[in-house]
Amino acid sequence: VCFIPGGLDCSISFVSHILGKVCVHGRQKEILSVLVPHLTDLTKSDCIWQRICWRLVECVPDRWMEAVVLGFVQRAPGADVLSRLLGNLVMKNKKAQFVMTQKLLLLQYGYTTAVLQNILGYLSLDSLRRALLIKVLQELLETWGSSSAVKHSPAEQQHYISKAILICLSHLKEPEIESCRQELLTSMMEGVKCHLDSSLPRIRRLGMIVAESISSKINTDGPVLKFQYEEDDEARELKSLLVQTPSFCVVPSLPDDDRNEKADAALPLVLESNGKSHTAAPHVMPDEESDAELDSDDDLIPYDMSEDKELKKTMAPVYIRDCIEVLTGSEDVDKWEATVKALESLVRKNPAGTREVSVELAKVLLHLEEKTCIEGFAELRRRAQVAVLTMDPIPVTQYLTSQFYSLNYSLCQRMDILDVLVLAAQELSYPKAHGKTKHAPKPCIQLLHGSDSSKDWRRIVDERIKSKTRRFAKGPSQVELASGPNEFSSVAGHFFFPLIQNFDRPLSTFDLLGEDHFVLGRLVHTLAVLMYLAVNTVAATAMGKALLEFVWALRFHTDSYVRQGLLSCISSVLLSLPEERLLEDMTEELLETQSWL
DSSP 114-147: HHHHHHHHHHHTSTTTHHHHHHHHHHHHHHHT-H
Residue 589 included in any domain: yes
Are the C-beta atoms of residues 215 and 167 closer than 8 Å to each other? no
For the CA atoms of 338, 344, 350, 356, what is the dihedral angle to 10 degrees? 100
- Same structural domain for residues 492 and 541? yes
Split into its structural domains, the chain has a count of 4
pLDDT at 11: 75
Local confidence band at 526 (pLDDT 50, 70, 90 cut-offs) = very high
What's the confidence (pLDDT) of residue 475?
A: 55
| Co-location of 238 and 114 in the same domain | yes
- For residues 176 and 130, is the Cβ–Cβ distance under 8 A? yes
3-state secondary structure of 295: coil
Last residue of one domain, picked from the residues 24, 52, 87: 87
Tell whether 116 and 81 lie within a shared domain.
Answer: no
480 domain-assigned: no
The domain boundary, picked from 191, 215, 244, lies at 244
Asked if 161 and 69 sit in the same domain, the reply is no
Residues 427 and 570 reside in one and the same domain = yes
Is residue 227 located within the same domain as residue 129?
yes
Residues in the chain: 597
Question: Above 90 in pLDDT, residue 527?
Answer: yes
Asked if residue 573 has pLDDT above 70, the reply is yes
- 110 in the same domain as 66: no
Domain boundary among 202, 223, 244: 244
Predicted confidence band of residue 264 (pLDDT cuts 50, 70, 90): very low
Are 235 and 324 in the same domain?
A: no
pLDDT tens for 158-175 read 999 999 999 998 888 888
Which of the 8 DSSP states describes residue 104? Answer: I
Asked if 83 and 113 sit in the same domain, the reply is no
Nearest to 136 by CA among 178, 170, 179, 106: 106
Residue 314: pLDDT over 80 = no
Worst-scoring range by mean pLDDT, 5-19, 159-173, 284-298, 556-570?
A: 284-298
pLDDT tens-digit readout, 444-490: 333 333 444 445 667 777 777 777 777 665 555 555 666 677 788 88
Using the predicted structure, report yes or no on whether residue 286 has a pLDDT greater than 50.
Answer: no
Instruction: State which of 6-10, 181-185, 202-206, 327-331 shows the largest mean pLDDT.
Output: 202-206
Q: Give the per-residue pLDDT at 456.
A: 64
Nearest to 85 by CA among 126, 43, 28: 43
What does the pLDDT read at residue 386? 93
Dihedral of alpha carbons 347, 350, 351, 354, sign: negative
Rounded CA separation 438/36 (Å): 75
> What is the amino acid identity at position 589?
E
255 assigned to some structural domain: no
From CA 488, how far away is CA 438, in angstroms rounded? 22
Instruction: Assess whether pLDDT exceeds 60 at residue 25.
Output: yes
Each residue's pLDDT tens digit, 499-514: 888 777 777 667 777 7
* Contact in structure between 486 and 536 (CB atoms under 8 Å): yes
Q: What is the mean pLDDT of residues 173-202?
A: 85
Q: Which residues contact 415 (CB under 8 A, 6 or more apart)?
A: 519, 522
- pLDDT for 29 equals 84
Q: What is the pLDDT of residue 524?
A: 92
What is the C-alpha to C-alpha distance for residues 341 and 317, in angstroms, rounded to an integer? 11
**3-state SS, one letter per residue, for 519-587:** HHHHHHHHHHHHHHHCCCCCCHHHHHHHHHHHHHHCCCCCCHHHHHHHHHHHHHHHHHCCHHHHHHHCH
Residues 70 and 171 occupy one common structural domain: no
pTM, two decimal places: 0.55
Assess whether pLDDT exceeds 80 at residue 276.
no
| Average pLDDT across the chain, whole number | 79
Are 427 and 557 part of one and the same domain?
Answer: yes
Closest CA to 164 of 100, 93, 226: 100
Closest by CA to 187, choosing from 226, 215, 145, is 145
> How far apart, in whole angstroms, are the C-alpha atoms of residue 82 and residue 115?
11
Residue 98 clears pLDDT 80, i.e. is over it: yes
Compute the distance between CA of residue 514 and CA of residue 510 in angstroms, rounded to an integer.
Answer: 9
In a domain, 273, yes or no: no
Judge whether residue 223 has pLDDT over 90. no
Q: What is the mean predicted confidence (pLDDT) over 509-520?
A: 77
Q: What is the DSSP letter of 456?
A: G
For 74-88, letters b (16+ CB in 10 Å) and e give bbbbbbbbbbbbbbe
pLDDT computed for residue 257 by the predictor: 43
Burial of 61 (0-12, 13-18, 19+ CB in 10 A): middle
Range from 29-38, 102-111, 145-154, 250-259 carrying the lowest mean pLDDT? 250-259
Q: Considering the domain boundaries, does residue 139 fall inside one?
A: yes
Work out the number of other CB atoms within 10 angstroms of the CB of residue 427: 15
User: Which of 555, 545, 547, 551 has the alpha carbon at shortest distance from 587?
Assistant: 545
> 135 and 56: one domain?
no
On the question of pLDDT at 247 being above 80, the answer is: no
Is 326 inside any structural domain?
A: yes
pLDDT grade for 432, boundaries at 50, 70 and 90:
low
588 within some domain: yes
Q: Which domain holds residue 150?
A: 106-244
Answer for the pair 374, 391: CB distance below 8 angstroms, yes or no: no
Q: Is residue 541 included in any domain, yes or no?
A: yes
